Structure 1
Amino acid sequence: MALCKVCEETLVLRLVPEDDVDDETGAACPSTSDPSVPDDLELPCGCHFHWQCLLDQSSDVALSLKCPSCTAYLPVNEEGPSVTSTFLSTPSGTAIFTRYTNEGGIQENLDILPSITEEAYLESNPEARPARALLVMCAEGDVGGVVELLRDAGDSIKDLTAFVTYQDPLGDMKNGLHLAIENSQEESLWLLLWLCSTIPESSFPEYARSVAEATGVGRLPVNRERDIRGLRDSQGRTAADLAQQRQGQWGHILQTGLLSL
């Protein structure tokens, strides 16, 4: 049986055992089983790793694009980009196709390069972790999560405006407003405009203003240069430009002119 090339242990993920419950008494008793699930990531060179063990080598792999065990060159190039990133200058279409076996089954031709690139970036830029978490929340419409994150980060982040308007170098330099529009999240859109735009409070629709005020977060002091509406992704598009491509969803807001500086 193959072993992980990093830790030299079997290619399984051992789960924390839950206590068994006695059906008659309802009392917990120690589990006698040692539950585990497959965790086998096979690289193109044939070397095997645990998923996390390989990600722990991300900084080296992202720069060399070589197997950390046998040093074989890993990528292949295909038509179309594998990952959009300004962090690492990998050629367009670069991918590292792997075979991953876990509790869900076998995934053939899984491109591991985006995950390696992301982990390498976050290792070099740990301060980006909460900002990227905010982007995920904006894309999912998790307004409550955004508010909680801002409250938790308020004391530790010196520039909240830069935090809220963070542009992701691994994601086409999009910010939360871009992602809110792409994912049809209107509540996220209004919260971001409330936080980081120069739109007068009186210009917000009543329902949008009520939602923003109910969160208890105040508006950030921004000028025209730092207004989130003016930020462009790596293709030069503002959030309003993306909304123009989705008239069915955003036409009513575009008509107000509030998405444009």
Structure 2
Amino acid sequence: MSVCATCKKPLEVEIEPEEDDVQMSGSSSKAPAAAPETYPDDVQLSCGCHFHWDCLLEAYQVTECSNCGKDIASTSSDGSQQVLCNLNNEGGLQENLDILPLLTEESYLKAYPEDRKNRAFLEFCREGDVQAIVGMLQDDESDDDEDEDMEGVQDDSGKEVGVDAMLRYQDPIGDMQSGLHAAVHAQSREVAWLLLLLASNIPLLEIPPEVFQEAEALGIMRGITEDKVDIRSLKDANGKTAEDIAKDVGGVWVTGWVGTGKLAV
């Protein structure tokens, strides 16, 4: 078996099963702990070198193999750069998988770990997962309460933290898209309305009653927005607002959205 080029250990990983508190019949004792399961953990790069996934992330040098120094980048059919590999893990073997987006994201988060929560928030916006979005906002509000008033407070990197910053976060390695851009791309009206309610200056009378009802049921509502950036004014790296993206995407945005002011200031 090949070994990892970095740590020289077999290309596998042990995963502990989730704890099971099922009680043994007639006893309050816990069931014996199950033995960990072993799965492959093998990233074979185009140069032929093998790595554990975590070891590759630790040693990642953009588009050069950290072990042999060979260029591992290639050009895709659309002219963009890619890093192809054969990935074998608990999900099975995936051949010619482009891992450059994952490597780029993990490298960024390694340098800026404080952005991990904001990027998770954006991913939920892309997926249209309202419950997850609300859960993150509520968790952040709880953290703010514990730290008194976090509004406008900055972390050590100079970035604002808290709910307002999360709502208006723009992805530095994703064309500077905001949550509203992501929701528009995903054609998720539910997420778009939630963001407009919480992070825009759109008159509340223009928000549908059912949006208010759902927000109230979820335990969230708009705070003071007059001194905050209106999420509709945010532009991506191509200078496009969510309204511009809606015009390009079409679909659910064509009727009753584009040109109405709902997605634009």
Q: TM-score range by the shorter chain?
A: 0.7 to 0.9
The reply on whether 1:212 has 2:199 as its aligned counterpart is: no
Give the match's secondary structure for 1:42. Answer: strand
Q: CA deviation at 1:145?
A: 1.8
1:127 shift after superposition: 1.3
- Asked if structure 1 preserves the Cα contact closer than 8 Å seen for 2:187 and 2:251, the reply is no
The one of 181, 187, 191 aligned to 1:178: 181
Deviation at 1:119, TM superposition (A): 0.7
1:136 corresponds to which residue? 123
Q: Whole-Å Cα distance in 2 between the matches of residues 200 and 18 of structure 1?
A: 48
| Residue 126 of structure 1: how far off its partner (Å) | 1.1
Aligned match for 1:118, one of 81, 88, 105: 105
Question: Structure 1 residues 94, 19: CA separation in 2 closer, same or farther (over 3 Å shift)?
Answer: closer
Task: Describe the shift of the 1:236–1:214 C-alpha distance in structure 2 as closer, same or farther (beyond 3 A).
Answer: same
Instruction: Kindly indicate whether the alpha-carbon contact (under 8 Å) linking 1:190 and 1:212 is maintained by their aligned counterparts in 2.
Output: no
Q: Output the CA distance in 1 between the equivalents of 2:207 and 2:32.
A: 58
Q: Which amino acid aligns with 1:252?
A: G
Cα deviation, residue 141, structure 1 = 2.1
Is residue 80 of structure 1 aligned with residue 78 of structure 2? yes
Equivalent residue of 2:263, what SS? Answer: coil
| Greater alpha carbon shift after TM alignment, 236-245 vs 113-122 | 236-245
2:108 partner amino acid: Y
**Contact 1:13 1:39 (C-alpha < 8 Å) held by counterparts:** yes
Q: Secondary structure at the match of 1:254?
A: coil
Helix, strand or coil: the match of 1:208? helix
- In 2: Cα distance, 1:253 partner to 1:39 partner: 47
Taking a change above 3 Å as real, the CA distance of residues 213 and 17 of structure 1, as seen in their structure-2 partners, is closer
Question: Is 1:47 aligned with 2:34?
Answer: no
Q: Which structure 1 segments of 5+ residues have no match?
A: 82-92
- 1:34 Cα shift? 5.6
Spell out, residue by residue over 1:178-217, the C-alpha distance to the aligned partner (whole angstroms, 9 max, x if none): 1111112111111100111111111211112222233322
What is the DSSP-based 3-state SS (H/G/I as helix, E as strand, rest coil) of the residue aligned with 2:87? strand
Q: Which residue of 1 aligns with 2:10?
A: 10
- 1:211 and 1:192 map into 2 onto residues whose CA distance is 13
After superposition, the Cα gap between the structure-2 partners of 1:57 and 1:223, relative to the gap in structure 1 and judged at 3 Å, is: farther
The AA in structure 1 aligned to 2:51 is F
SS at 2:120 equivalent: helix
Give the Å deviation of 1:29: 4.3
The alignment partner of 2:94 has SS state of strand
Match of 1:244 in 2: 247
2:262 partner amino acid: L
Which amino acid letter does the alignment assign opposite residue 100 of structure 1?
A: L
Count the aligned residue pairs.
Answer: 244
SS at match of 1:67: coil
In structure 1, C-alpha distance between the alignment counterparts of 2:77 and 2:223, rounded to whole Å: 43
CA deviations on 1:150-192 (whole Å, 9 max, x unpaired) are 2222316634323211111221211111111111211111110
* TM-score (ref. length: structure 1): 0.82
1:94 and 2:96 correspond: no
Distance 1:51 1:135, change over 3 A: same
What secondary structure does 2:264 align onto? coil
Inter-partner Cα distance in structure 2 for 1:98 and 1:67: 12
Q: Do residues 153 (structure 1) and 153 (structure 2) align? A: no
* SS of residue in 2 equivalent to 1:127: helix
Matched, 1:71 2:72: no
How far does the alpha carbon of each residue in 1:32-72 deviate from its partner, in whole angstroms, 9 at most, with x for none?
Answer: x66312111111221111112111223xx12xx22122222
Residues 49 and 248 of structure 1, relative CA distance in 2, 3 Å threshold: closer
**Partners of 1:152 and 1:17 in 2: how far apart?**
27
**Is 1:166 equivalent to 2:164 in the alignment?**
no
Percent identity, aligned pairs only?
41
Q: Which residue of 2 aligns with 1:84?
A: none
Give, in whole Å, the separation in 1 of the partners of 2:36 and 2:197: 51
Q: Secondary structure at the match of 2:95?
A: strand
